[in-house]
């Protein structure tokens, strides 16, 4: 089966997590192909598996409620991050049984994001010892994945035009020597979300289609 893309529109984080797990099971059973899921979440802070990640929430419960931000403990790798409107979240549900190299998989996800933002005139790169994609010391995309029976889920989040104030309620990914940015902040004129999504899909399947 060839890969496919699903656009779920805006979703609550917990619902999208459950839907990912169903796709993982379907791929494991051979009833669904490799799939790239794209979505946009309601405002949420997700806490990854890294020890001490929950200590990186800075806002009080009152502030969280005032901004309408949910907090969810998840099983992906990494620290704490924010998801919300204006961000393209990608969940690749891929079978890695013939490519059992998580390091290579992560590097390929980074490459997809680097190529995507390059299309809009931005030079992004990796930072030694840190996850995600950066423009100098400004993080524009986060990555946090999980694997079940060598099938991937969770994934990446690319900031198109989110409310960057929401990142001030946490220490994003536990990083204190950088800031968070977006395509809207870095590009003039800013690309439309649909343009970014189309390019992201193209770059993703260039790297991940027709794997043997």
Q: Which residues are catalytic?
A: 173
Strands 70-73, 80-83: parallel, antiparallel or unpaired by DSSP? unpaired
* Nearest residue to 140 (alpha-carbon basis) of 121, 119, 157: 157
DSSP 46: E
Taking residue 191's Cβ as centre, other Cβ atoms within 10 Å add up to: 20
* Nearest residue to 95 (alpha-carbon basis) of 149, 49, 136: 149
Strands 44-47, 70-73: parallel, antiparallel or unpaired by DSSP? parallel
Q: Which residues contact 125 (CB under 8 A, 6 or more apart)?
A: 114, 133, 134, 135
Task: Evaluate whether 82 touches 169 at the Cβ level (below 8 Å).
Answer: yes
Side-chain-side CA neighbours of 115 within 13 Å: the count stands at 17
φ and ψ at 144, to 5 degrees? -155, 115
């Amino acid at each position: 089966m060839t890969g496919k893309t699903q656009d779920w529109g805006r979703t609550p984080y917990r619902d999208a997590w459950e839907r990912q797990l169903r796709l993982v099971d379907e791929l494991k059973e051979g009833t669904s192909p490799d799939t790239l899921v794209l979505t946009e979440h309601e405002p949420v802070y997700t806490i990854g598996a890294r020890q001490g990640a929950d200590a990186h929430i800075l806002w009080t419960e009152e502030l969280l409620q005032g901004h309408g931000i949910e907090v969810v403990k998840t099983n992906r790798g990494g620290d704490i991050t924010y998801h919300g409107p204006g961000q393209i979240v990608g969940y690749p549900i891929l079978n890695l049984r013939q490519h059992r190299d998580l390091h290579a998989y992560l590097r390929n996800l980074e490459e997809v994001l680097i190529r995507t933002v390059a299309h809009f005139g931005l030079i992004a790169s990796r930072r030694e010892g840190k996850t995600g994609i950066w423009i100098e010391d400004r993080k524009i995309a986060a990555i946090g994945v999980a694997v079940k029976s060598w099938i991937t889920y969770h994934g990446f989040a690319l900031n198109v035009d989110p409310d960057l104030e929401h990142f001030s309620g946490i220490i994003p990914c536990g990083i204190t020597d950088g800031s968070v940015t977006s395509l809207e902040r870095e590009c003039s004129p800013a690309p439309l979300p649909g343009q970014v999504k189309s390019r992201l899909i193209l770059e993703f399947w260039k790297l991940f289609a027709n794997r043997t």
